Structure 1
């Protein structure tokens, strides 16, 4: 189990991301600003803080960070797949998940888009 989940969404408005979350979760406490939004979602009995940060990676990628180990996904890739199905926007996430002392290439990511999914070097 990961301590948190984070994905990166290409060229997708914050409003669309919030609408995706509203499909599967009870969303509350939405506070938007010019760089994204902070909100909470409820999954089972867990209340999960979510931060949506526009332009988190370059000008076109938005970070969606679920600050909890109690999400419905076991890893970032599972979340990325669900997000891609709902948003139809390219999604990227860390390929190896969260590991403090990982020796894997930090530029190796998992990418899902209309051409399929697989490993991707993101520099």
Structure 2
């Protein structure tokens, strides 16, 4: 039976370290099953939040190869926005994390797209390139 995935969160992690996502998510979710030891290949996993199943996917090589896209899908999510998720990830990983401002739709041009960038300089809105 296919589970309907209603909501999703997506963040982009620069220069992802092996195991970093699973270590972070183990402190946020229950029953995390994600093998992210090889960050050069797509990794799929699962977790639970308030008893609800989540699907976790890592897509390496996003936006010029240095970023890995992390997508978390489920009926109920631990964060209300991509930015809240990015803040949580940044506190644990302390690298550069990016996420959309929330207005982007599939098919929109990315040329002038504004993103949140979280890093040692703080939170800033930037154009990706």
TM interval, shorter chain, is 0.7 to 0.9
Q: Are residues 1:61 and 2:77 paired?
A: no
Cα drift, residue 19 of structure 1: 0.9
Report how far residue 56 of structure 1 moved: 2.0
- The 1-side partners of 2:61 and 2:33 are apart by 22
Query: Residues 119, 64 of structure 1: CA spacing in aligned structure 2 closer, same or farther, 3 A cutoff?
Result: same
What is the aligned-residue RMSD (CA, Å)? 2.6
2:27 counterpart SS class: helix
1:17 pairs, out of 17, 21, 42, with 21
Query: How far off its partner does 1:36 sit?
Result: 3.6
2:44 alignment counterpart: 38
For residues 24-83 of structure 1, give each alpha carbon's deviation from its aligned partner in whole angstroms, at most 9, with x where no partner exists. 212444355651411101100111000012212222101110022411111100000000
Which segments of 5 or more consecutive residues in structure 2 lack a partner in the other structure? 1-5
Q: Taking structure 2 as the reference length, what is the TM-score of the superposition?
A: 0.80
Structure 1: where are the runs of 5+ without partners? none
Q: TM-score, normalised by structure 1?
A: 0.84
The count of aligned residue pairs is 122
